[in-house]
Structures are given as C-alpha cells and as structure tokens.
Amino acid sequence: MSTTELAWFKSSYSGSSGDDCVEVAITEQAVCVRDSKDVMRPHFAASRDEWSRFVGFVTDV
C-alpha cells in the first residue's frame, strides 16, 4: 500500500499549530508512523503485535 493510499491521522494531543507531530495510519498488517512536517520521507511500519509491545513498554515506564 502506498503512502498516499493510507488514512493518516494525528494524535488528539497534537497542538493546533501542527508542529512537532507524528501521523499514524493503521492497516490490517501494520501500524505506520511518519513525520507530519516531512510527509515525503519514508514512513516507519511495525506489525500490530510489535506496536502493541512498544506501547505496552512505553506506558509501563
């Protein structure tokens, strides 16, 4: 799936000015993350299981 076909969204915690944000797109296979200031750069993708482990680790810290 190409970057333009993904449904990107920003966190509800993002400010209205749009700076220093990441955007996320969720597919059946992966969670994709990109820099909202430079959307032409490649995005990072992790499997849904990998993403769940990452979020679990971050919330435990």
**pTM, rounded to two decimals:** 0.75
Question: What is the DSSP track for 20-57?
Answer: S-EEEEE-SSEEEEEETT-TTSPPEEEEHHHHHHHHHH
Domain count, the chain: 1
Asked if residues 3 and 17 have their Cβ atoms less than 8 Å apart, the reply is no
Give 20-60 pLDDT, tens digit per residue: 688 899 999 999 999 888 888 899 999 999 999 999 999 98
Residue range of the domain that includes 25: 3-60
Asked if residues 45 and 25 have their Cβ atoms less than 8 Å apart, the reply is no
User: Can you give the pLDDT at residue 4?
Assistant: 63
The CA distance from 32 to 3, in Å, is: 9
